[in-house]
Structure formats: structure tokens, C-alpha cells
Copies of this chain bind each other. A is one copy, B any other.
Amino acid sequence: MSDLRRDPVSGSWVVISPEQGPSVKLERFERYQTPENECPFCPGRESDTGPEILYSPPLKAKKKEIKWGVRVIPNRVPVLRTDLALEREGMGMFDRMTGVGAHEIVIDSPEHSLDLKDFPIDQFAQMLQAWRERLVDLHRDSRLRYVSIFKNQGRRAGARISHPHSQIIATPMIPITIRDELESARGYFKYKERCLFMDLIGQELEAETRLVLQSRGFVVFCPFASRFPFEMWVLPRRQSCNYGTVVDEEIQDLAEVLSAVSKALALSLLDPDLNLILKTAPNPDQRRRQWMTLEDDFLWHLEIIPRIFRPCGYEAATGMYVNPTPPEEAAASLRESLSRVDGRRGHG
């Protein structure tokens, strides 16, 4: 029997509908690969990309000629650019701005074919550090109100180049999904004087059924109103709205957590394509003006969205999702996979 569930963060409802057939599509498909011999992100082709924005030293390079672990470069064809004047214009009912912003690529690893599940923990940590450093730097430009960081793994998740990379897009406005989450969290805080996300952690730890993993600093669960089968949220236990404040020790912990859940997800769903998404507060400079909030009303976090279905007209029309896999089932499968990945880890 179907169940309608409301997500307390977005306010939207999902239909959890186990009758919709095999909740887990147990078909392994080949990860789409773009050819290595012409890959612009591979070592040896550094001069083909724009000037390096950030660079991390190599981990333990098997080959001497690999001089880096993570590189951040400008997108060759940026969606938005910093070298424009920000002009706002009304055209009758319409609003328009010049395409000011930033669009950068984080090459997450020198290796051409490397799924998240096979990332060494230190590689994860280097990627997460690069994300933090770019976020802090981009926040220095007060025109940029929001910095979005995300990773598409596989073609179904939107990746055009298979070499592991993440993307950073900074915009001169706060995107609507983020604005809705901030408003929702602010409304909750006004009413309860507590952080919505911290309360979520508390409730998920108590309920246990949707819990996937917890570490010293992080809690991973399948959200109550999961839009997608095996959707996971990764929340920090330390209150901070801004990912830019995360410290190295926390990054090490987070890298271990992401490595473990990536392996578990790959086992449970047979290497699905996925999106990894960072949600963090807007530029603090901007936030002070438009979002008169305390640090305590929002919590930065990560979302992991496996891409095993195509969205259809219903989602496009209504914003409502139909999910055949109850999050309680997904979490049980992920805990089981985790125990196979690493006997030491449990969710307790």
C-alpha cells in the first residue's frame, strides 16, 4: 500500500509506492566511458585546460610523471563568467541579469576511470578540501550569492566526460531550491529555536530504521520522504551552516564515511550512476543582508542521489516524486552491504 510522506526540509510530498514493481533494479550496466587517449582531464594534458585555479600534491603516484592529486580548472565553456559587469534589468514583467558567476571543474583524481567506491580515502579528502577552498575563495566575491558544488557520476547522472570530476557553479542569486530550504529551516528555527536538521538527526538516531551509518562527526540516513530509491543524506553533528568552516579532521572523517557508503551503495544497487550534492549556506556577506539568520538555523550537508530511474511528466508537472523503495528497506540493504564491506562498521 502506498504511503504519502512530507519532507520537513523542502515541504514537498512523495509517494512511497512499493507496489510499483521491483524496487531495486538489479541490472548492472556498463559505466559509460569517454576515451582515455583524448581525455582533457588526464595527466599529461594539463596545458590543454585553462590556467590552474588550485592544485593538490599527488597522493602516492604510481607513475612519477603525475604531479597532482586534484586540480581545479575553469570550465572551458563556462555557463557563467566572472569577467562581466553585473547588470540587472527589468523588461516589463521579466527580470534579467548578465551571466555573471563562476563555473569551475574539480578534477577529482588523476586516474581516468575511478568510481567513487574505489576512491582511496585520501583522494576523497583531497576532493573535499578542494571544495572547501574554492567555496571560501568564491565567497570573497560579494556578487556571488550562492556556490553550488556537485558531482555527476555516470551518464544517467549527467556526466559528459567520464574522468572523475566535480563542478562548481556560483550564481549572483540564491537558487530556488536552496531558498526554499533556507526559508523552511528559518521558519522551523523561529518556531522551535532549534535547528531543523539537528532535530532530524535526533529523530533518525532514535528511530534507527532509516539509519545507514554514523561516525564521530557524521550521520548518514535515507530520508523519511526519499524522492529516489536509496537516496542518502550525510549530516554533520557539529552545527555549522557553512561548509567553508569544516576543519581537516572533519574532512578526514567525512572521507571515510563517503568511502564506506559509496562501497555499500555500489553493492546494494550494482554500481548505480549518481549525483553527489553539497548544500551549504549562501555567501555570508549576502546572508547578512538578505538572510538575517543565525549560524544555527541551517546545517550544511551532502545528498547522494542514485540515478536508476528517469523522471517522467508527473515530476515535471508537480514536483512530486513516486519512489518504489521505502527508505527503511533501502537503509536495511545499505547496512547489510556495509557489514560486508567492512565488518567493523555498524550503524550503532
Rounded to whole angstroms, the CA-CA distance of A12 and B4 in the bound complex is 26
Query: Interface size on A (CB < 8 Å)?
Result: 76
In the complex, chain A residues 69-101 whose Cβ is within 8 Å of any chain B Cβ: 77-81, 84, 92-100
Which listed residue, B11, B96, B169, B305, touches A176 by the CB 8 Å rule?
B11
Whether A172 contacts B4 in the complex (CB less than 8 A), given A317-B148, A318-B178, comes out as yes
Pick out which of these stretches binds chain B: A13-21, A252-260, A336-344: A13-21
**Is the CB of A120 closer than 8 A to any CB of chain B?**
no
Q: Is the CB of A313 within 8 A of B203?
A: no
Per-residue CB contact flags for chain A residues 1-36 toward chain B (1 = under 8 Å, else 0) read 111111010111101010111000000000000000
Rounded to whole angstroms, the CA-CA distance of A84 and B17 in the bound complex is 14
Instruction: Determine chain A's interface SS by DSSP, over half rule.
Output: mixed
Per-residue CB contact flags for chain A residues 281-319 toward chain B (1 = under 8 Å, else 0) read 000000000000000000000010100001111101111
**Is the CB of A177 closer than 8 A to any CB of chain B?**
yes
Which listed residue, B5, B15, B177, touches A318 by the CB 8 Å rule?
B177
**Is the CB of A199 closer than 8 A to any CB of chain B?**
yes
Nearest-neighbour CB distance to chain B for A79, whole angstroms, equals 5
Q: Is the CB of A310 within 8 A of B13?
A: no
Q: Is the CB of B96 within 8 A of A4?
A: yes
**Is the CB of A131 closer than 8 A to any CB of chain B?**
no
Copies in the complex: 2
The chain B residue sitting closest to A207, CB to CB, is B92
Which listed residue, B19, B84, B200, B313, touches A152 by the CB 8 Å rule?
B313
**Is the CB of A117 closer than 8 A to any CB of chain B?**
no
**Is the CB of A163 closer than 8 A to any CB of chain B?**
no
Which listed residue, B17, B78, B175, touches A319 by the CB 8 Å rule?
B175
Contacts of A8 in B (CB 8 A): 93-95
Most chain B C-beta atoms within 10 Å of own C-beta, residue among A84, A199, A317:
A317
Q: Is the CB of A5 within 8 A of B96?
A: yes
In the complex, chain A residues 234-271 whose Cβ is within 8 Å of any chain B Cβ: none
The chain B residue sitting closest to A203, CB to CB, is B92
Contacts of A78 in B (CB 8 A): 2, 19
Q: Is the CB of B12 within 8 A of A176?
A: yes
Contacts of A42 in B (CB 8 A): none
Q: Is the CB of B199 within 8 A of A99?
A: no
A13-B173, A151-B313, A305-B313 known; 8 other A-B pairs, CB under 8 Å? A3-B99, A4-B98, A17-B80, A17-B99, A93-B196, A152-B313, A169-B318, A279-B317
A-B contact pairs, 13 of them (CB 8 A): A2-B80, A3-B98, A5-B94, A6-B94, A13-B175, A17-B79, A19-B78, A21-B77, A152-B312, A152-B313, A158-B311, A171-B320, A177-B317
